[in-house]
Amino acid sequence: LLLSDLDLGGSIDGLDLIKTAWRGPHNVKTIIMSGKSSAKTVVPDYTAFIEKPVTGNALAEILEREEHT
């Protein structure tokens, strides 16, 4: 499982990170989080999105959902 913020503040962003992970030999489940709800439109279909601030319940729900996909 790879959980990343969309904005990493460096030369790579969260989308670049998950695309790199998906090029590897493993089927990595990926979740992007952002404080900008509009960011959901740029997240690929194979990646879950969670809006910040993240509550414990919201994180538990998305992890449960990802475990069963």
Q: How far apart are CA 25 and CA 49, in angstroms?
A: 23
| Per-residue model confidence (pLDDT) at position 56 | 93
- For residue 6, give the nearest of 64, 46, 49 by alpha carbon: 49
| Per-residue model confidence (pLDDT) at position 16 | 92
Quick check: 48 pLDDT over 80?
yes
Mean pLDDT score across all residues of the chain: 89
| Per-residue model confidence (pLDDT) at position 26 | 77
DSSP, residue by residue, 3-29: EEES--SSSS-HHHHHHHHHTSSS---
Residue 63 φ/ψ, nearest 5 degrees = -65, -40
